[in-house]
Amino acid sequence: MKSVFVHLSDIHFGQEKDGGTDAANLDAKARLIDDVRAQLAKLGCTANGVIVTGDIAYSGQAHQYVMAALWLADLTDAVGCDRTDVQLIPGNHDVDRAKIDNTMDSVLFSVREGGDSWLDRHLDNPDDCAALYGRFDAYRGFALDYRCELDLNGGVSKSATLELAPGRSIRFVRLNSALICSGHPEEGKLILGQRQRQIPIEEGVENVVLSHHPLNWFQDSKKAQGYLRGRARVFISGHEHFPNLDVEDVEDGCQLMMLAAGATAPDQIDEKFTYKYNILTFEWDEEQDALAVTIDPRTWNPDMARFERDEAFLNGRSERQVLASPNFRGTPIPADGTSDGQAVTELVEEPSQTVSRDLTAQVGPGETTATPLTDATDSPQTEVAPEPEPTQDVRDLQLRFFQTLSEGQRLGAFKTFGLVKHLSGSIDHAMERRLFRRAIRLGKVAEIEGMLGTSGKGNGTK
């Protein structure tokens, strides 16, 4: 079974400095959708999803994610997957640098100088940890609606698995390589940290690790490489805006693919840098009991003002790379497995962990901005079981709700539904999503659809 993904990186919504650049980038993004639709038609399939390896926005501002969400909706509709079937990680441009004051700059400097121990010291302090992740505030709200929430304690973010054949799956492992980005020169100074280096391992599952920054940007790259070589089959990165492919023979029966992406919308267009994206196909190679990855690199041809296959990137190599996969060999070969046809299984998220819920949102010491009403079974600071997985219709409706309505309109809706008692300021992203899910449980779907003023795919009425 084949699973096809559109791979983007460095889309940089909001980077345009003048109207001409804006028009050129909008045109290229529209042509990208045309191109991928045509290429999938040739393959006779739809896509299983979209992968974005960071820098969705240019300066981590909420309105830039609104633009990104609208374009991603058009793209996912064109390739035939659900609008929420997007794997996201943040990049350095997804950091709101306006939130890096002198104190935060000093904290980031101390972490870069102190390494793992200093990073863990700040992650173990609740206030320091909240400040580190506060720089990703707009990104966090955007990512939540794609089920790509950040781990807020410096660890590997919740992953998604996709079955290629019975007993043979891939897992997308999402890293936040921008955690200590500050805006200063950073090559070789960033840190993944001990918690993110702990890549999970499971028989029958090969890991596809997503990181915005390539390994050479980390001071702990050697340690990280050890975990990658022992536990991952594919490492996909962005950031440098120039594509590269390398397959390392780690040891007998074990290989690691390192795929660096070009930028979907680089901040400069010249002979070296231009618009790029990939179509990636993952499948189980039955003959070798291995993960096969087919890369169709697409690049902008300025002479024809369209995307074309990038033969120079392949440089004579086969587009289909079969990677020696030790985690597949640890489990029996499926008797009825086949690599023909398209995968019909969907991305399955790892179950959310039980969390402590404080139902009074805070934005500062002692400052309550919105007080949600509680269900009879809810009480502040109690441990509750994870909510059931929402249907795809609910996911689509949630996506549209947070894309279409302003924060004030959303809070007004929650008040109308009787879910909050007081309105003054804002509440955090996670609380907003819980209130939305509660509204769904209370049967407010029709009212929400009326607020959005739309119907059809993407608003929960497919």
Q: Which domains does the chain have, with CATH numbers?
A: 2-329 (3.60.21.10), 352-452 (no CATH)
Q: What is the pLDDT along the chain (462 residues), one digit of tens a residue?
A: 799 999 999 999 999 778 888 899 999 999 999 999 999 999 999 999 999 999 999 999 999 999 999 999 999 999 999 999 999 999 999 999 999 999 999 999 999 999 999 999 999 999 999 999 999 999 999 999 998 999 999 999 988 899 999 999 999 999 999 999 998 889 999 999 999 999 999 999 999 999 999 999 999 999 999 999 999 999 999 999 999 999 999 999 999 999 999 999 998 888 889 999 999 999 999 999 999 999 999 999 999 999 999 999 998 899 999 999 999 987 787 665 554 444 434 567 665 443 333 333 333 333 334 555 544 334 334 444 556 678 888 888 998 898 888 888 888 899 889 888 766 666 777 888 889 989 999 999 999 999 988 544 443 333
Q: What is the pTM of this model?
A: 0.86
Residue whose entry in the numeric block shows the structure tokens 């290429």: 39
Answer whether 179's CB lies under 8 Å from 107's CB. no
Nearest partner of 232 among 330, 121, 324, judged by Cα: 324
Provide the pLDDT for residue 368: 38
3-state secondary structure of 222: helix
Position 424 scores a pLDDT of 61
Residue 218 · residue 60 · CB < 8 Å: no
What is the per-residue pLDDT for 344? 39
Nearest to 32 by CA among 279, 280, 271: 279
pLDDT at 332: 80
CA distance to 6, 55, 167, 168, 219, per residue, from 345 (Å)? 17, 29, 13, 12, 38
Q: What is the pLDDT of residue 385?
A: 53
Q: How many CB atoms lie within 10 A of CB 125?
A: 12
Strand, helix or coil for residue 439: helix
| Residue 165: CB atoms within 10 Å | 22
At 98 the pLDDT is 92
pLDDT for res 181: 95
